[in-house]
Amino acid sequence: MHAPVSRRALLAAGAALSVGAVASHAFRGTAEAQQKVAQAVVKYQSSPNAGHQCSTCSNFVAPDGCKVVLGKISPHGWCTIWTPK
């Protein structure tokens, strides 16, 4: 037989879930920021390399960003973790 669940217990559980969701969201934001690497680490340069450049990389975020490398990124730049789209 199931134990009766009080309204108070349900509210408490809901509140705990909400707090967890907010905490988890905040953590994800922090983790994303920390996952980016400095340009020097991946030998970023502002010119293409062997026909490869940021605008054709799957990590490029137009107009001047990158999902994995910090700072301003030129669409004509390149780094060692270039990945085709």
Using CB under 6 A, list all residues that contact ligand SF4: 42, 44, 54, 57, 59-60, 66, 68-69, 73, 77-79, 81-82
User: Is 25 or 67 the residue whose CB approaches ligand SF4 more closely?
Assistant: 67
Question: CA torsion sign, 34 to 62 to 82 to 79?
Answer: negative
Dump strand ranges (E) for 20-66: 60-61, 65-66
72 within 8 A of 64, measured Cβ to Cβ = yes
* 31 DSSP assignment: H
CB 59 → ligand SF4: shortest distance, Å?
Answer: 4
CB 18 → ligand SF4: shortest distance, Å?
Answer: 36
CB 29 → ligand SF4: shortest distance, Å?
Answer: 20
